[in-house]
Structure 1
Amino acid sequence: MSKTYTFDEAYQNALEYFCGDELAAKVWAGKYALKDSQGNIYEASPEDMHHRIASEVARIEQKYPNPMSEEELFALFDHFKYIVPQGSPMTGIGNNHQVASLSNCFVIGLDGPADSYGAVFMIDEEQVQLMKRRGGVGHDLSHIRPCGSPVNNSALTSTGIVPFMERYSNSTREVAQDGRRGALMLTINIKHPDSEAFIDAKMVEGKVTGANVSVKITDEFMHAAVSGSMYEQQYPVDSALPSFRKEVNAKDLWKKIIHNAWKSAEPGVLFWDTILKESLPDCYDDLGFRTVATNPCGEIPLCPYDSCRLLAINLYSYVKNPFTPEAEFDFDLFKDHVMKAQRIMDDIIDLESEKIETIIKKIEEDPESDEIKLREYNLWKKIQRKTMLGRRTGVGITAEGDMLAAMGLRYGTDEATDFAVEVQKTLCLSAYRSSVNLAKERGAFEIFDYKREVENPFMHRIMQADPELYEDMKKHGRRNIACLTIAPTGSTSLMTQTTSGIEPVFMPVYKRRRKVNPNDKNVTVDFVDEVGDSFEEYIVFHHKFVTWMEAKGYDPAKKYTQEEIDELVSKSPYHKATSNDIDWLAKVRMQGKIQKWVDHSISVTINLPNNVTEDLVADLYVEAWRSGCKGCTVYRDGSRAGVLIGTKPKEKKESEKEELQKSPVETKQDPKPLSRPKELEADVVRFQNNKEKWVAFVGLKDGKPYEIFTGIADDDEGIMVPKSVSKGLIIKSYDEDGKKHYDFQFRNKRGFKTTIEGLDSKFNPEYWNYAKLISGVLRYGMPIDQVINLVQGMSLNDESINTWKNGVERALRKYLPNGQKASGQTCQNCGCESLVYQEGCLICTNCGASRCG
């Protein structure tokens, strides 16, 4: 039996491997160490993992001429230095303990109109079957008939797109994948009559929370939006004889897309004509390779039942003498490794085929009836066929931001963009050279025909850049139908200890927390969690920022003041090069230029400060379209949850980038939505409620109640809050998963700030649902006495919730002015409507009766 390790053992070994990097060690031990379905860990460190992957890839290599050795492969993987398999390949290669796919992403769907319930439920089941094998899934909804269309069943008319969005979203949230939920991308063609409903679906809180959504934008629509013309929608969207037509104002619909993206970061946009025109697989669309949707992050447009496996090349590792005047990029080593990376990706396709065989065998052996198993069985047969037919790969990059900084280039400048494009062009030509060489040794993908690709713009660029490569491709073919992508490397970049994907550094300096003993000397307690553990905040430098510091003679171990940190950053190549600092327009143009040398797509996010206008978002989207980007996503600070803590408050930009050309598409910003301040002054209100000790935290804005958290106190201290504390702050914050929560902060007797995290999770979860309702009406300015009446009138068939209701009422009464009449209430003693509030109690001015409970 194989030796197993505890999480702590694996974590400690990984901690040493990553030179003390706690986050990298936890990510590896928690997500990527070899484990079985019961969570038993079979690898002691990342070194074991890299040996496992190298061994399996070497086994496949032995099937073909000129095989790479296990030792050579291990050297490429070791310490995540050069070649990094992503996600599913990293966890699944050589893992015989779990039956899972090696593919990171899939697209499913049906050719032609398929809007019956049978088709809808078929897609739903296939989506779940893929997600349970660890894959992310994308599918298009343009095949569903629009709302109000006649149907041949008892419903008479179609419900349209949105109910099915919710169905697919809910299915995604139900599927667990080793501690994470599945990932889903839903798309719709802008030509579909229900596209506006699709665009608005996620604007309702709690709706479609299990899916990313993107709109497939056509050139025709963009021209109409820019010129202010009318635009005809139809169903079916691709039909020459549609059954339904509808004219819309393109500019108004475009404004809605922009407004929603500004407000909530969705929908994303996919410039669909650019995707199809540039796609090599679509040269074979009549053979089953018609692109219909993308994976959940948008970097892999796919045809139905195709999949892709991802791998990243760590660009930083090819910079010799980083952060010095002698810095240079080792293009020779880079070309060699790219060719090997493409070879490894092709080997992983064979490994995936083996995995699919294992999945199919398991399905056959399952004790369920053949009728139940048939759809899953057919699904994987279709995926295996499409996988082997095109042999699609996804060679990408990571550490773009660190590579540019190490070369002394500032991300976003013309010089940096030109260099990044040269690197990507080199990668593209080397990967395609490798695919041609593989075709010589192993054979071309089954349906290769260079004549089909002659008019493809991407192939034209390869032809012009390397005529010899093109001639060899015509002669020998190509092993892979498409080869390249740029994906978000996410948690993988924590292990490469670099910036992620194509992105710039998020922050070169930020804060984290460590647990401390509050009784130790010279300890500052910044946070106290729900079990009473104390934490101290500390400064963390981005790994390659530390390398820059060392290259310039600065001591990373020194304790720096905020002013010293600011000065260090200003001297570094990361200055004005963070995701929030860079020139947004320049980033869009950089994406468009790099896209010319990526046959699939690029996952990239434009990070914007909170105060940008909708006009700016419109300008960026229009520029992305004009620059040749295949897709675009914006994230405005605060429109979704963030995860890192800045070392100082953000400064607003003095202007909104004057160099941005005014877009022909005008957008009118809606009235500013009600926004909860990050910090609110708060009172702590303690009281007896049915002989139980209760505590309420009441957030105040302009001295008036704005929100409330209340419930049974844990002990005499009132949920770790000393009795002497009556005031503090309620702070809106986010956990590491981006989930919003509310913390209470106060100063202890020693004068240190102490924080109790997660007020929204301290009490009965049902209390929180009702608290959101009450807080909502408070925020919109309902008079306190009317709020109290609302609470009193709530009919709740639950004794504990009714007790909570009484607690809220008692806490809010404190804020009523003395003598204010209690409208709509009568005295229980004399029956008169003469009740007034006095010190939080109800006093009858007629008979003198009082009620404080």
Structure 2
Amino acid sequence: MGQMVYSFDEAYEASLKYFEGDELAAKVWVNKYALKDAAGNIYEQSPVDMHWRLANEIARIEKKYENPLSAQELYDLFDRFKYIVPQGSPMTGIGNNHQIASLSNCFVIGMDGPADSYGAIIHVDEEQVQLMKRRGGVGHDLSHIRPKGSPVKNSALTSTGLVPFMERYSNSTREVAQDGRRGALMLSVSIKHPDAESFIDAKMEQGKVTGANVSVKIDDDFMRSVVDKTIYTQQYPVNSSNPVFVKDINAEALWKKIVHNAWRSAEPGVLFWDTIIRESVPDCYADLGFRTVSTNPCGEIPLCPYDSCRLLAINLYSYVVNPFKEDAYFDFDLFKKHVELAQRIMDDIIDLESEKIDSILDKINSDPELEEVKAVERHLWEKIRTKTLQGRRTGVGITAEGDMIAAMGLRYGTEEATAFAEEVQRTLALAAYRSSVNMAKERGPFQIYDSEKEKNNPFINRLASAEPDLYTDMVKYGRRNIACLTIAPTGTTSLMTQSTSGIEPVFMPVYKRRRKVNPNDVQVKVDFVDENGDSWEEYIVFHHKFVTWMEAKGYPTAKKYTNEEIDNMVAESPYYKATSNDVDWLQKVKMQGRMQKWVDHSISVTVNLPADASEELVNTLYIEAWKSGCKGCTIYRDGSRAGVLIAATDNNKEKKEEECGECYERPAIVQRRPKELEADVIRFQNNKDKWIAFIGLLDGRPYEIFTGIADDEEGLLLPKNVNQGLIIKRVEESGEKSYDFQFKNKRGYKTTIEGLDSKFNPEFWNYAKLISGVLRYGMPIDQVIKLVQGLDLDSEKINTWKNGVERALKKYLPNGSEVKGQKCPVCEQETLIYQEGCLKCTNCGASKCG
């Protein structure tokens, strides 16, 4: 008997009921996490089915070992996303036999030996693409590439340096990421590399390196040179005792550039590399292939080449008993029990990952390509399989830390709150490592465990001081996993827990007719008084966690409040002055440093600053992060993405932000449409309908649009490989205008589809003429998109068309353009930007295409 297939509506309605009316959570689950095949058939009706899928698969692995957990026990941990939440790749891939993909969220790649040749560079490029096509985020380091001007033994005579290869890898990411596939890339370089400054500047140039995050690996010597205002020496090779190229630089001047660029554009990120290596447990095995070289795109998993990591989060809010009440307390006993189980589940997932890799290898072996074509991909996955089983690396993390602190009656940013958060993380670390040691007794340690290699590691010694018996057992029995912990951005899975992913705003006033974020949010009337003393009734939406606090304190949620009453109530709550923009940023950095001592990998966190924050503040925060023991730091200043990458003039000179208030130049108005326009073809799918858009371009900017259902019966016989062509305007003898689409086929012959304007529903055509009109007269693309979003249409079909137009136009937004007036559905911050036509949150890293 085959699996039950559900329509989108059936799955959505069941999920809506599961999430108690939360439309956003229901849509996200159906679109991203429900079991599907390549044709889009949905095989799960709600998260109940998904959690049983996960529980049954992990229980199958558990039966291989002593004292197995049952499927029911596992389901109870997953149910309602209350306690343990596997992250995106495991949640999508476990038990999914319809797609051949890895369970790992992130990978790092890199050659084991010398890699400064075109062959090695292109080899890494191919490996990057092969991983991204299976949903993996990828990081790799460029410090091995010769600096610009170095001699090479080919016809070029000298090296081009790092930047052209940054562009190569970035473009590959953009290519793979088309049509909704995932593509996330981290490029890093050592500050010691002579081309470090060019690397830092690369993303400031318009249109360059738009498909990668970039971070600089900064060593302690450089930071001391910055603080002491001394000279710093760069060299190549960066780790050589006998370098072939040496350059002395002003460390303070280069540091100011890093700070300025971070202030201006939120990049580069900073990796405090000596701290990472010094604290890294896997680097105790560097001589056995576990030398850390880079991080994943979000920066929370430093990895050696060909290692990977799967992620899982524990919902901290669920361990607060009597939340927001006077007698609230944290159930440490239940928490420790669940952490030990979470670590065990993560180890089971490694076995499941091994099965997935075997499936990938079987797929490669059965492919019809020549052996020489398949060799690179096969060898890549063989190396990943070896590293996965050698170290059995895991990534147990947390979510809802901000809610936990507030539910305990603490205010984020205070010493009391920081000390409590540190104690929770310390408890988590000890329980996870205790679980790994217990598994070593039952299942055996990871293949290369050697207590002698680890005896001087600061993190291991910290565990030994906190719990000597744990260390004694570790030396005796070994440990199942080479490293266990991380704190990653929990992305869209935070929607499932209905909790914030960390230190984010939880009280949120929302005015006018804004749709409630969550059905448990409460809308109340208030007497609003403006600065002129005029008053009127207005609505405010209270976040559901704030409502929980109100109920705990006895405040009625159906009452009409005055503005003053609301101000007083909010000021009394634990969320007051606890949002991203309110907190003491220095305290946030110090808290990260204190928690980092109990995380063996790293912590992904962004310090969010207001638009008027100074470069000096950014400088202070970075230096404090280094002194506090942080392994990395990313700083985002509100508005820093907009206006940085301005379109170049005809003379190819960049316009500076202060010279232009827009994120692109206003186009010249062309009164008479040219006879021919270059055109892009964009295909997309809404539900089961396949749509197509033809975008006429003038000087690379959208000028007109034709779109509708891609119906072969209507004569739209367009090969799938056709993405570009010409839209040609014809005027009949009667004076009637018509538009044709012309393209070249594979043999180079021109093919014309006549009457493009008549191929679609007439209603679509009328709306398209309206949109084309505002495009032709220079309305900024983001405003055109707002116009389309605001169309009030009463037909489901025309609304689907409207969504398609919006998706098509987003492609032409400049990367980094801010989304004004819209909050991230995950962290609820107004920190969304457009990246390759997708929405990306610069605060928590969540992304959404379409």
Match of 1:182, SS?
A: coil
Deviation at 1:382, TM superposition (A): 0.3
The reply on whether 1:610 has 2:611 as its aligned counterpart is yes
CA contact (8 A) 1:162 1:198 kept: yes
The reply on whether 1:676 has 2:677 as its aligned counterpart is no
Match of 1:29, SS?
A: helix
Distance 2:391 2:622 in 1: 32
CA shift digits 1:142-186 (9 cap, x unpaired):
011111111111111111101111111111111148824311100
Distance 2:313 2:469 in 1: 27
Where do residues 233-252 of structure 1 align in structure 2 (5 Å cutoff)? 233-252=234-253
Match of 2:189, SS?
A: strand
Distance verdict in 2 for CA 1:84–1:146, change over 3 Å: same
Where do residues 106-255 of structure 1 align in structure 2 (5 Å cutoff)? 106-176=107-177, 179-255=180-256
1:330 matched to which residue of 2?
A: 331
Deviation at 1:673, TM superposition (A): 3.1
The reply on whether 1:504 has 2:504 as its aligned counterpart is yes
**Aligned letter for 2:300?**
E
CA shift digits 1:549-579 (9 cap, x unpaired):
2223345566777666544432321111001
**Aligned letter for 2:607?**
I
**Aligned letter for 1:222?**
M
Deviation at 1:509, TM superposition (A): 3.7
Deviation at 1:39, TM superposition (A): 1.4
Deviation at 1:508, TM superposition (A): 3.1
Distance 2:767 2:350 in 1: 62
Deviation at 1:672, TM superposition (A): 7.3
Unpaired segments of 5 or more residues in structure 2? Answer: 517-537, 644-654, 676-700, 707-764, 793-800, 817-850
Bigger shift: residues 42-51 or 201-210: 201-210
The reply on whether 1:308 has 2:309 as its aligned counterpart is yes
2:543 matched to which residue of 1?
A: 542
Distance verdict in 2 for CA 1:745–1:56, change over 3 Å: closer
Distance verdict in 2 for CA 1:238–1:319, change over 3 Å: same
Bigger shift: residues 180-189 or 419-428: 180-189
**Aligned letter for 1:488?**
P
2:35 matched to which residue of 1?
A: 34
1:417 matched to which residue of 2?
A: 418
Distance verdict in 2 for CA 1:367–1:565, change over 3 Å: farther
Distance verdict in 2 for CA 1:556–1:88, change over 3 Å: farther
TM-score (norm 1): 0.75
CA shift digits 1:624-666 (9 cap, x unpaired):
0000000000000011379xxxxxxxxxxxxxxxxxxxxxxxx
CA contact (8 A) 1:742 1:759 kept: no
1:804 matched to which residue of 2?
A: none
Deviation at 1:767, TM superposition (A): 13
Deviation at 1:475, TM superposition (A): 0.5
2:375 matched to which residue of 1?
A: 374
2:733 matched to which residue of 1?
A: none
Deviation at 1:504, TM superposition (A): 2.9
Match of 1:186, SS?
A: strand
Unpaired segments of 5 or more residues in structure 1? Answer: 516-536, 643-669, 693-707, 735-739, 749-756, 773-853
Match of 1:203, SS?
A: coil
CA contact (8 A) 2:188 2:294 kept: yes
Deviation at 1:769, TM superposition (A): 9.3
1:266 matched to which residue of 2?
A: 267
Distance 2:242 2:623 in 1: 31
Q: CA RMSD, aligned part only? A: 3.6
Deviation at 1:436, TM superposition (A): 0.3
Distance verdict in 2 for CA 1:111–1:335, change over 3 Å: same
**Aligned letter for 1:35?**
K
Distance 2:232 2:441 in 1: 49
Where do residues 665-704 of structure 1 align in structure 2 (5 Å cutoff)? 673-674=658-659, 676=661
CA contact (8 A) 1:105 1:309 kept: yes
1:81 matched to which residue of 2?
A: 82
Distance 1:113 1:718 in 2: 58
CA contact (8 A) 1:711 1:767 kept: no
Distance 1:717 1:143 in 2: 51
Where do residues 480-519 of structure 1 align in structure 2 (5 Å cutoff)? 480-500=481-501, 502-505=502-505, 508-510=508-510, 513=514
**Aligned letter for 1:422?**
E
Deviation at 1:8, TM superposition (A): 1.8
Where do residues 249-648 of structure 1 align in structure 2 (5 Å cutoff)? 249-500=250-501, 502-505=502-505, 508-510=508-510, 513=514, 540-556=541-557, 566-640=567-641
CA contact (8 A) 1:506 1:579 kept: no
CA shift digits 1:443-481 (9 cap, x unpaired):
001111111111111011101000000001010000000
Bigger shift: residues 118-127 or 709-718: 709-718
**Aligned letter for 1:231?**
Y
1:788 matched to which residue of 2?
A: none
Distance 1:14 1:150 in 2: 61
Distance verdict in 2 for CA 1:495–1:588, change over 3 Å: same
CA contact (8 A) 2:781 2:812 kept: no
Distance 2:456 2:73 in 1: 39
Number of aligned residues? 686
Distance verdict in 2 for CA 1:153–1:76, change over 3 Å: same
Q: Compare relative contact order (CA 8 Å, sep 6+) and give the higher one, 1 or 2.
A: 2
1:93 matched to which residue of 2?
A: 94
Match of 1:452, SS?
A: helix
CA contact (8 A) 1:507 1:579 kept: no
Distance verdict in 2 for CA 1:66–1:711, change over 3 Å: closer
Match of 2:492, SS?
A: helix
Deviation at 1:548, TM superposition (A): 1.6
Distance 2:380 2:768 in 1: 58
Deviation at 1:415, TM superposition (A): 0.7
CA shift digits 1:470-493 (9 cap, x unpaired):
001010000000000000001111
**Aligned letter for 1:162?**
V
Match of 1:247, SS?
A: strand
Distance 2:279 2:32 in 1: 35
Distance 2:596 2:368 in 1: 48
